[in-house]
Structure 1
């Protein structure tokens, strides 16, 4: 499953290694872990009158692999004999362009929905929603402070700590967290006395 999401972030995110001469790649930033975490903790589905958080990382990885297999069988994509992402499924054996093509086919519902795993089987709305979420989660995980949480990133939000300044913040020129910038320090509020 991890290899599938590593392949996803490899296809969707800008490559930082060659452009900036860095000693690590996008997969080293752990954005794929953010996607897995978000799919398992942040998406709820409605069952009867209630919304339930349902772990969706594993079925989503299976959906990506099933969609990739359909494109390969239809001769719209070609799998590499060697997998760049160890222990990955069919999606991770595709080129970056074919991985994007797979996401596009899912988003446009250009595949046989009956051949997808539950809860995506014949569920067009959920397929479109989660495919869009994969794009958003990838970008959010890359441009947020997620990689800088380091060893604390899989803890509950209150227990996470920044261990270093995020690379993506450096790339976009974000100066970092501040308690207030000179441009705006808040509104002056006065409290009126209340007589009882």
Structure 2
């Protein structure tokens, strides 16, 4: 499963192939772990009258493989003879361009929704929502403080600690976390005395 998300971030995030040479790779930053964590902890599905957090990382990895397989069988994508990421499914056998094509097919619902895994099967809204979330989660994980949490990144949010200054913050000249900002307390007003 993790290999599919490594393949996803490899296709979506800046790399030497996209004309930008980062001083590090996604595998060093573990952005794929952020996507897995976010899919398993941050998306809720309404069931009857209640919202429930549903772990979606595994079914999303299967959805990516299923969509990639459909594109390969339709001759819209070509698979390499071996996976570019150890342990990956069909999605990880595709080139970056074909992985992006797979995401576009999912977002445009140009795949057979009936063969997708549950809860995506015949659920166009969820397919579009999660496909869009994959793009957002990739960028959030890349440009946020996620990599700098180091060994605490998979802990509950209250237990995470920054272990170093994030490299992507250096890239974008972000100065870092402020220990506090002055509260806005309104505008200074003077009241004229009313003579009666």
Scaled by the length of structure 1, the TM-score of the pair is 0.90
Using the alignment, how far apart are the partners of 2:137 and 2:155 within structure 1?
A: 18
Structure 1 position 178, deviation (Å) = 1.2
Q: Residues 46 and 166 of structure 1: is their aligned pair in 2 closer, same or farther, counting only changes over 3 Å?
A: same
Are the equivalent residues in 1 in contact too, given 2:7–2:85 (CA < 8 A)? yes
Are the equivalent residues in 2 in contact too, given 1:16–1:26 (CA < 8 A)? no
Runs of 4+ in 1 over 6 A off after TM superposition: none
Are the equivalent residues in 2 in contact too, given 1:68–1:99 (CA < 8 A)? yes
When the two chains are superposed, the root-mean-square deviation of aligned CA atoms in Å is 1.7
Counterpart secondary structure, 1:46? strand
Counterpart secondary structure, 2:55? coil
Are the equivalent residues in 2 in contact too, given 1:8–1:99 (CA < 8 A)? yes
Q: Residues 16 and 151 of structure 1: is their aligned pair in 2 closer, same or farther, counting only changes over 3 Å?
A: farther
**Which position in structure 2 is the counterpart of 1:194?**
none
* Residue 60 (structure 2) pairs with residue 60 (structure 1): yes
Scaled by the length of structure 2, the TM-score of the pair is 0.90
Are the equivalent residues in 2 in contact too, given 1:59–1:118 (CA < 8 A)? yes
Using the alignment, how far apart are the partners of 1:175 and 1:16 within structure 2?
A: 26
Using the alignment, how far apart are the partners of 2:21 and 2:28 within structure 1?
A: 15
CA radius of gyration, larger in: 2
Using the alignment, how far apart are the partners of 2:37 and 2:22 within structure 1?
A: 29
* Residue 32 (structure 2) pairs with residue 32 (structure 1): yes
Structure 1 position 186, deviation (Å) = 3.0
**Which position in structure 1 is the counterpart of 2:192?**
none
* Count of residues in Structure 1 that have an aligned counterpart in Structure 2: 185
Superposition pairs for residues 8-157 of structure 1, below 5 Å?
A: 8-15=8-15, 19-20=20-21, 22=23, 24-157=24-157
Are the equivalent residues in 1 in contact too, given 2:14–2:22 (CA < 8 A)? no
Structure 1's unaligned 5+ residue stretches are 190-196
